[in-house]
Chain A
Amino acid sequence: MSPAVMPPTMTQISDPKIAFAYLRPACVLLTQQPTVANVETLSTQLKEVNDATLQQLQDYVLFPLRFVLKVPGPKKEKLVQTVAETISYVLENTCVQNWDTLHDLFSELCLCLCSPTDPGKPADLSEELQSAVLRCLETLLHAAYGDIVFRLFEPVMLPGLGAAVSLLLALAQKSKSREIQVSALKCIQSLALQCDCKQDHIVPSSEERRVVGSFMASFLPGITVAVTKIITGDLRQGHTVTVRAIKVWSTTVGLVMEDAQLQAPEPQKTHPSGLGRIAQLVVHRTQEWAKSTAGKLCVLLKKIIACTSAHQHWRVRLEMVELGDHLLDRCSQSLKECVGPLLEALVGAVNDEEPRVRERCEVALSAVSQRNQSDDKSSRAQTFTDVLSENLHSMATSLPRLMRTSDDQKKLFILKVFLGYLKLLGPLVSMVLNSATHLDRISKALMQVLELDVMDVRIVEERTYTATMETTAGSHDSYTAHRQRKHFLYFTDEKIFSVLMEICQTLGYYGNLYLLTDHFLDLYQQSSSYRKQAAMVLSEIVRGAAGIGVVTQGQGLESQVQGHPTTPEDLREAVVLVMEEFTSLKNWHLITVSEDTDRDRQDQQLLSPPRLLSISSTDVSNTNTNCLQVISSSFNSPSTSAPSSTIHQLNSNIWQLCIQLEGIACFAQALGRDFRSLLMTSLYPVLEKAGEETLLVSQAALGSMWDISKACGYSSLKELINENSDYLLNDISLNLQRLSQHPQAPRVLTVMLTHSDCSLLPLVGDIIQDVLMALDLSYDQTAALFCSVLHALMKALARWFPSNRSKTRESARTKQSSSREEILDIRQFMLDYNKQKELAEGIGIEEDVTIEDLEVPPPTECEDIDDTVSPDVKPELPLHLSITKDVMERCIHLLSDPSLRVRLKVLDVLELCVSVLSEKENELLPMAHRCWPPFLQRLIADDPLAVLRAFRVLCTLGETCGDFLRMRVSKEVLPKLSSSLVRQAPISAKAGPVYSHTLAYKLQLAVLQGLGSLCQRLDLGEGDLNVVGEACLPYLSCRQPIRLQEASLSVFRHLIQVDPDTFWFTLNELHCPSSYTPPHPDLQPVRLSGMGRPRDEFSGNVLKLLQEEFGSVSETINQPGS
C-alpha cells in the first residue's frame, strides 16, 4: 500500500486559484467526453497540484470522475479502470471529510464490481479492473475521516455493507488472481477497521470498538466460514493468500468476540424506529449468542489449525502463531473452548524448524504464561496448567494409536506438539509423570514408535577381521561416520528420531530421574520386545537429566516450581543402576554370531564346562536367579537355542548391544569427568565388545570408547586405555582364570594391545604370563581363542619395537639392487673380475680387507658390554624379547594343531615372533632350531594355504638367520619340493580344467608362488638356484595351467634378481630370439643352444621374461657371455 511515487514537490501548484484554473478545462472536457484519454489528462494534471490544494478542490475534481461512473449504461472497462486509478490517486493524497462523499463513493465503487443483477456477486470483469477498484475502495476507507467513518457502522448501513462484504468474500474466494484475492481480503480487514498496513489508522475508542464489533457481529458467520474455506482450500494457492485470510479471520474474530466487549453488558440502544426489516439483521451479542458462536468458531478453528500447523510455508505457520497469540490475548474468556486447540497449535510451533516461527512462538507462549501469572486470580493460572496437562494426557492417550496409524509428516507434528507441552510444563512434568497412567501411556507410545527394524541380514554377516582392526588407530571421525543408522519399523524420517530423543531428554530433564529410570528399567526387564527401545530411552533420559540437549526456555512455568531437581549424586546413582543392568551377564553376553561355523562351535566348547558361580560375586542372589535365564538365553547351549537363534534374533541382539554401548557413551557424556570413577566397571565390558567379531558391535564399541575418552578428558583411546589399564588388567586376569564363563577376556587384551603403546608392556607382562598359563592348561580347547591374542600381542610388539635389523637389511638390499641396475660397463666388469681372480689367488689381500669389511655390519655394542660385564651369567632379556620367546615356545606346540585355522594363525604369529626376536640372534637361533621340525612339516606336507604362509615365515626367517637356514633349506626343503614339482609337472601339463580344483594343483601353486622369494631372501647358493630353476622350467610351458605359468614366471623373476647372468643364460639356452654378433672380430662368436630353435611351448614365457627382466632383447647384446 505504498503511496504512488510523487513528482518533485517544487513544481507543484500551491495556489488553489491557479490550480482550479489549471484543472478546470480537463474536468469540463471529461464531463462532456468521458474517454480514457481525457481521464488520463486530468490524472497527469492532478499530479502537478499539491496535496493541500487538492484537498480544497477534492469535490470538484471527484465530480467528473464520479460522473463517468454514474452514467448509466455499459461502460468500457478500460475507462472505469482509469477512473478508479485516478480516484485512488486523489484519495491517497486527500481526506474524505464528508459522509455523503464516503457513502456515495463506496456504493459507486461496489457497484462497479458487482454484477448488475445481484449486488452480492461479482460481475465478470477483467482482473485489472477488479484490482483497480479494490485498491480504490481500500484507499477510500483509509482516507475517511474518523468522525464520519463510524457512520458506516450504523444499523442502517447493514444491507449495503452486507452486500459489500459478501461481494469481497466472493472475490476473495473465487478470483483466480492471487492479487485480487489478497486485495479483497485486505478490503474486508479495512472495513472492520483492522487494517495492519503501515499507514496511519483511526484508533477507535473502546466505545467505538464496541460499535464496530457489534456491527461486524452480523457478518461474523459469513466472514469466518468463507475465510475458513479459503484457508483450508487449495494447497497450491500462494501462501500470501492463506496468510492474509488467517489475518482476516483472526482480526475479525478478535474484534467481535473480544472479552472486553462481551463482558460489559451491551447497552440497549434504542434504534431509531423505521429501521423496519433492517432491525432483524441487527445481532445482539448476548451470553447465549457468544456461547453458541464460540462453539461454531471452535469447529472452524480446529479445521484451520489442522490445515495450517503443518503447512509447508513458514509464513503460514508464523501467521498461525500470531492468530493464536491474538485470540488468546483478546478472547481467552469468550472463546474458552478454543483455548485448548489454540495452545496446542502454539505448542506445536515451539519446535518449528524455522527460527522466526520459533521465536515468535516463544514470545507468544511467554506472554500466555505471563498473563496467567500476572492475573491475580491464581485459579486462572491453574486452569492454564490444567489445560496443558489435560492436553498432555489426552495426547499421551492417543499417542500409541497415532504412532501406529499416521504418516511421517503427521507423526512429526504430533511429536513436536508433545515435546512442546513437555517444555511448556517444565518442572510440572514430574507431577504429570507421577500419575501412573500418564507415564504408562507415554512409555508405551515411545516403545511402540521406537521399535527397530531388525530384518537386515547384512548386519549379522559383517565381520571385523583382524586386518581392519589394525587400522583402527584412526581418528574419531571415522567411527562416527561408520555408526550405523538405525532403521525403525514405524517411521523413516530422521527428524522424527531426533524429536523422539529430545522428548526423552526433556522427560529426563524435568522428570523425576528415579521414577523414570525405575519405570523404564522395568520395561527393559519385562519384555525382550521393549528392551532395545527402553535402553535407547534410558540413555537419552540420563543425558537429558544432565542437561544435555535440553534448551531451557523462558516460557515454561518454572518459576512456580523449584528448579532442576537432579543432583550429580542422583545422576551418578541412576547411571550406576542402569549401567549395571546393561552390562549384566544376561543383557551383555548376547549371541551375535550364528553357531554354524566351526570356530564358534569351538567357542561353544569353551563355554560348556560347568558354569561356576562364585561366592564372592558382588550380588549373589541376583546371579543365582538369573542363572537359568543366562543358560537359555545367552549361553547358547546348542540344544536349547539352536533353533531359536534365527537371524532375526541375532540382529536384534546386535542392535541391543549397539544401543547399550551407545548408552554407556551417553552416560559418560552425562557425567563428564565423574565418569572416570565408573570406568572401573564400565570400560572392560566396552572393550569386550570392541573385540567382538560382528562389525556393527565392534564399531559401536569403538565409537563409545571415543565418546568415553572425550567425556573423561582423555585425548585419545591410547590414553584412555593406558590410564585405566589397571582396571582392565584386573578383570582380564580374573576372567582368564574363569575362561569358561568369560571367554571374552583374551579379546579385551587384544583390543588393549591394538590401541595402546609400549608403555603398557610392564603392566601387561604378568597378564601375558597368565594368558600363556591358561593356554598351557588347555591346549585343545582354547588354542583358537588364544592364537588371536598371541597374534595381537606379537603384532603389538612388532609395532612397538620395530627391529632395526630388518630395516638395515632392507636398505642394503635396495642399495644392492639399485647399483645393479646401472648400465654395466664392460671395462669395469673386466677390471673387477680380474681383481677378484687375483684375490682368489691370494694377491693383494692386505689392501683390500677394508673394502670387504664395509659390508659386514659391526656387531652391536650392547652385546659387547653384556659380554664384558658378565661373561658367565646370561643378561636379563628385555621384557618384550622374553615374552616373544615364551610365545614362540607355544608356537612349537601349536604348529601341529589339527585345526588349519589355528595353524595358519600360528604361522602368522611365528613370523612376527621371528621379526621381533631378530634383534637378538643368539636368542632367535635356538628358538628357530626348536621350531624347525614342526615347521618343516608345514612347509612340505600341509594344506596349500599353510604352505604358502609357511613360505612367508621362511622368508622372514631367512632375512635374519640366513646362514642357519640356508643349509637346512637346501638339504631338507628344496630337494623335496623340487622333486615333487618335477614329478607333478607332466601331470599338470596334461590335466584338464578340473585339475585346478585338486589339492595337488593348489600345492604346486603354493610352492611355486613361495619359492621365488625364498630363494631371493635366503641368498641360496648357485647349486640350489639351479635346482630350483630346473624344477620350475617345466612350468614355463604354455601347456601348464595359466596360474602355474604365472607362478613359475614369478620364480624366475626372483631368480634373475639374484643371479641375472646365470638365468639369462638358462633362458637363452631354452629359446634365444636373436643372434649375437660380437662387437669386435677378435672375440669368439656367441653360440647358444636356444638359437635358431623353432618356437615351442616355452618360447612365449621365455621371451616374456627376457623382455621384462633384461629390457629389450637387443640390449642384451651387451650382456656378458657367461
Chain B
Amino acid sequence: MSSPAPTPVYTLRGAGGPLNTLHFSCHDADTPLLYSGSGKGLIHVWNLNTRRAKKIVKGHSGNSIIWVSTLQSTDALISQGRDMLVCLWDLSEGRSEMVDSVWTGSVGFCQCSMLEMSPGNHLLAFPGEQTEEIKIIQLPSKTPVCTLVPDAKVGMVMCMKLWQPDSGLGPLLVAGYEDGSLLLWDVTQRSVLSQAKAHPEPVMCLTFDLKRLRGISGSSEKNLSSWVLDGQNNLQLQDNVTLVNPGISQLCIRGDGKLLASAGWDHRVRVFGWKRLKPLAVLQYHTDMVQSVAFSDHQDPRQRLLAAGSKDQRISLWSIYNEGAETG
C-alpha cells in the first residue's frame, strides 16, 4: 500500500517526563481513559474525550514508573515503580490513595504481568530480588504462589507474560531472559515446559496471542522473532521479521488479533498484520525513543486507538486501520 504517511489524531503533552508505559481503560464509553506512567514517578490519567489529564497520581517517591494496569473488576490501579514497589491505588470518587503495596526487590526493568483468575482474584507475576527469579503472588491476599528460578544460566529476566490456557492446565508464563532465550513455565508445576533461543541479544519485550497460541518477541537487535506453542506446549520458533533499525521497546497485539504494533528505539512505531507479519505502516511522529505502545479496548471497534508513549514526553494517539474492522 503506497498510502502517504499517517498522522496522529492527537498528541497528549504535559507528562513532564519520558513515558515508560501506557494502559487503556475504555470500557466506559462516556469517559475512555488512558493511564500513563512517566520517568518522573507520575501516573497521568488522561480523559480521551477532553484529551486532558483528568488526574495525576504521584507515587513511587519520584522513581520511574515502569508499568501500570487496572484491575478490571474493581477498577483499581496498579503500578510498578523502580523503587522496587508494586502499588495498588484507589482512584474512585476523586481519591488517589495507595491502598496496598508489594516489595519486589527487583532493580531491573522487567514489567509485571497480571492475570485475572476470577473476579476479584488476580495472579501477579513480578521479577524478584534475584535477577533471574520470577515471583507469583495472589492478589489481593498477597499470598505467594510460587517462585520460578530457571536451572540453566539465562541471565536476568527481561519480560514476561502470564496467561490461563484453554486446555485446562494451570496458568502458563512465558518469560524472556538476558541471553535471548524464552522460557515457558507451568506455574502450578513450577517447571519449565519448553525453552527456545529467540534472539542473540537480550529479549526486550514479548507479547502473546491466546487465541492463536502464538507470540512474538523483540530484542535490542533488528529482528522480531515469532513463535508458537504446539499441542505439547513446546515453543517453536517461526518467522523472523527484520527491521531497518535495531531496538524494540514494546510489542502489542490488537484485541481482534489483526494488528501488531512495535515501539522502536528509532522513534518510530511500526504496524504489522499479525497473521503474516506483513509490514503495513510506519508511524513517524516522535522525536525520541518510543518506549510503549498500546491498543485501546473500546467497545466499538471503529473508535479503537493506538497510543505510543515516547521518551520525548509526548503520547501520540493514532486511529488506523479501523474502517474495515467489521468486514475484516
* Contact string against B for A residues 429-461, beta-carbon threshold 8 Å, 1 for contact and 0 otherwise: 000000000000000000000000000000000
A766 interfacial contact with B, CB 8 Å: yes
Cβ-defined contact, B3 with A615, below 8 A: yes
Contact A618 B312 (CB under 8 A): no
Query: A677 — which chain B residues lie within 8 A by C-beta?
Result: 49-50
A612/B4 contact (C-beta < 8 A), A726-B51, A726-B52 known: yes
Could you jot down 25 A-B contacts, CB within 8 Å? A612-B4, A613-B3, A613-B4, A614-B4, A614-B5, A614-B7, A615-B3, A615-B6, A616-B320, A677-B50, A680-B50, A726-B13, A726-B51, A729-B13, A730-B11, A730-B51, A733-B11, A733-B13, A734-B7, A737-B7, A737-B285, A738-B7, A763-B14, A766-B314, A773-B287
**In the assembled complex, A727 has its CB within 8 A of some CB on chain B:** yes
| B320 A615 Cβ-Cβ under 8 A | yes
Does B300 interact with chain A (Cβ within 8 Å)?
Answer: no
Contact B13–A766 (Cβ < 8 Å)? yes
Bound CA–CA A730/B320 (angstroms): 18
In the bound assembly, the distance between CA atoms of A151 and B312 in angstroms comes to 107
Task: Closest A residue to B320 by CB, please name it.
Answer: A616
A620–B320 Cα distance when bound, in Å, is 11
Residues of chain A with a CB closer than 8 A to B285's CB? 734, 737
> Contact check: which of B5, B13, B51 meets A612 at CB < 8 Å?
B5
B residues lining the A interface (CB < 8 Å): 3-11, 13-14, 49-52, 281, 285, 287, 312-314, 318-321, 323
A734-B285, A766-B314, A770-B287 provided; 4 other pairs, C-beta below 8 A?
A612-B4, A733-B11, A734-B7, A738-B7
Residue of A nearest to B323 (CB): A620
Contact of B313 among A618, A734, A766 (CB under 8 A): A766
Query: How distant is the Cα of A614 from the Cα of B3 in the complex, in angstroms?
Result: 8
A763-B13 Cα distance, complex, nearest whole Å: 8
Please name all residues of chain A whose beta carbon is closer than 8 Å to the beta carbon of B6 when the two chains form the complex: 614-616
Which residues of chain A have C-beta atoms less than 8 A from B4's C-beta? Answer: 610, 612-615
How far, in Å, is A612 (CB) from chain B's closest CB?
A: 4
Bound Cα distance A614, B7 (Å):
6
> How extensive is the interface on chain A, given as a class?
20 to 34
The residue of chain B having its C-beta at the shortest distance from the C-beta of A733 within the complex is B11
Task: Tell me the complex Cα distance, A544–B320, Å.
Answer: 39
User: What are the residues of chain A within 8 A of B52 when measuring CB–CB?
Assistant: 726
| Nearest-CB residue, chain A, relative to B312 | A766
Given A726-B14, A766-B313, is A618 in contact with B9 using a C-beta cutoff of 8 Å? Answer: yes
B254 to chain A, nearest CB (A): 15
- Nearest chain A CB to B321's CB is how many angstroms away? 8
CB atoms of A616 and B11 under 8 A apart: no
Those 9 A-B pairs whose CB atoms lie nearest each other, nearest first: A612-B4, A616-B6, A615-B6, A614-B6, A614-B7, A730-B11, A616-B319, A615-B3, A734-B7
Cβ contacts under 8 Å, B49 to chain A: 677
Digitize A750-776: 1 where CB-to-B-CB distance is under 8 Å, 0 elsewhere.
000000000000010010011001000
Q: How far is the CA of A292 from the CA of B146 in the complex (A)?
A: 108
Which A residues touch B281, using CB under 8 A? 615
* A680–B9 CA distance with the chains assembled, in angstroms: 12
Known: A616-B320, A677-B50. Is A730-B3 also a contact (CB below 8 A)? no
Q: Whole-angstrom distance between the alpha carbons of A610 and B4 in the complex?
A: 10
| Contact for B9 among A616, A620, A733, A773, CB less than 8 A | A616
- Within the complex, which residue of B5, B10, B318, B323 is in contact with A730, where a contact is CB–CB below 8 Å? B10
Contact A616 B8 (CB under 8 A): yes
Give A60-104 as 1s and 0s: 1 = Cβ < 8 Å from B's Cβ atoms: 000000000000000000000000000000000000000000000
Which B residues lie within 8 Å of A763 (CB)?
13-14
Q: Contacts A677-B50, A726-B52, A766-B312 given; indicate if A618 touches B319 (C-beta within 8 A).
A: yes
Output the least CB separation between A721 and chain B (Å).
Answer: 15
Report A1018 CB to chain B, min CB distance, Å.
42
A886 CB to nearest B CB, Å: 14
CA gap between A274 and B6 in the complex, in Å = 108
Bound-state Cα–Cα, A766 to B287, Å: 10
CB of A159, distance to nearest CB on chain B (Å): 89
Distance to closest chain B CB from A624 (angstroms) = 11
CA distance A276 to B312 in the complex (A): 115
Q: Which residues of A contact B312 (CB under 8 A)?
A: 766
Min CB distance, A897 to chain B, in Å?
Answer: 26
- Alpha-carbon separation in the docked complex, A730 to B10 (Å): 6
Q: How far is the CB of B126 from chain A (nearest CB, A)?
A: 34
- Which residues of chain B have C-beta atoms less than 8 A from A727's C-beta? 51
Q: How far is the CA of A613 from the CA of B52 in the complex (A)?
A: 27
CB distance from A765 to the nearest CB of B (A): 10
- Name which residue of chain B comes closest to A770, CB basis: B287
The residue on A at minimum CB distance from B280 is A615
Q: Identify B318's interface contact among A616, A726, A737, A738, CB under 8 A.
A: A616
A580 to B5, CA, bound (A): 24
- Give the residue name and chain of the A residue nearest to B321 (CB): A615
Check A734–B3 contact: CB distance below 8 A.
no
**B4 nearest in chain A by CB position:** A612
* A610, A613, A620, A730 pick with most chain B CB within 10 angstroms: A730
Docked CA distance A769–B13 (Å): 14
Chain B residues with CB under 8 A of A737: 7, 285
Give the distance to chain A from B213, nearest Cβ to Cβ, in Å.
31
A29 CB to nearest chain B CB (Å): 104
Chain A residue at smallest Cβ distance from B51 = A680
> 1/0 per position for A612-631, CB-CB distance to B under 8 A?
11111010100000000000
**Which residues in B have their C-beta under 8 angstroms from that of A614?**
4-7
Contacts of A738 in B (CB 8 A): 7
Question: Which of A612, A615, A773 has the most chain B CB atoms inside 10 A of its CB?
Answer: A615
Q: Which residue of A lies closest to B6 (CB)?
A: A616
Q: Are A616 and B7 in contact (CB under 8 A)?
A: yes
Residues of B within 8 A of A766 (CB): 13, 312-314
Q: Return the chain A residue nearest B313 by Cβ.
A: A766
Q: Closest A-chain residue to B319, C-beta based?
A: A616
A 535-553 contacts with B by CB, 8 A: none
Q: In the complex, are the beta carbons of A734 and B11 less than 8 A apart?
A: yes
Q: How far is A614 from B10 in the complex, measured between Cα atoms in Å?
A: 13
**Interchain CA distance A1038-B13 in the complex, whole Å:** 66
- Chain A residues with Cβ below 8 Å from B318 are 616
Q: Please indicate the chain A residues that have their CB under 8 angstroms from the CB of B319 in the complex.
A: 616, 618
Taken together as a complex, chains A and B put the C-alpha atoms of A738 and B14 apart, in Å, by 22
CA of A769 to CA of B287, assembled, Å = 10
With a cutoff of 8 Å between Cβ atoms, the chain A residues found around residue B314 in the complex are 766
Q: Which of chain B's residues has its CB closest to A735's CB?
A: B7
Segment 139-179 of A: residues with Cβ below 8 Å from B = none
> Which residue on A lies nearest to B314, using beta carbons?
A766
